[in-house]
Amino acid sequence: MATQIFVNLPVKDLNRSVAFFTALGYTFNPQFTNENATCMIVSKDHIYVMLLVETFFSTFTTKAIVDARTSTEVLLCLSCESRAQVDELVAKAVAAGGSTPTEAKDHGFMYQHAYQDLDGHVWELMYMKPGAVPG
């Protein structure tokens, strides 16, 4: 059985976050969706993001919830199939109300850019040329 990852992120307004990520083309698993949380499908069968209303998120930890608009706790990075896909997703995020925390970077073998979602979480996107890194 392949390992799956479930990233848990606190959000202030679940409906607003769902609308934002829907605009980027993501879908949600209705079996794990209610007024407190939703399961965003990033890569079917492998990668999921649980968007949890802050009050519900706080039931899983005794630590303070970081305000991702002013502090960084994690940088999420997803691979893309092309440079065009990187730019397309960043453009969709900005059109849906997100922002770009940095300029795009072209390292020759790898292209990356990022967007910040409505709650300030940074989503890095990268495309690496096939065969660019021996391995």
Per-residue pLDDT at 7 exceeds 90: yes
pLDDT, position 109: 92
User: Would you place residue 96 in the very low, low, confident or very high pLDDT band (cuts 50, 70, 90)?
Assistant: very high
Contact predicate 114/102, CB 8 Å: yes
Mean pLDDT of the 31-58 span: 96
Residue 128: helix, strand or coil by DSSP?
Answer: strand
Give the span between the Cα atoms of 109 and 12, in whole angstroms.
37
Structure tokens at 5: 């990852």
Residue at token pair 């976050």: 17
Contact predicate 125/78, CB 8 Å: yes
pTM beyond 0.85, yes or no: yes
Per-residue pLDDT at 134 exceeds 90: no
In order of their start, the domains of the chain are 1-60 (3.10.180.10), 66-135 (3.10.180.10)
Give the span between the Cα atoms of 87 and 64, in whole angstroms.
34
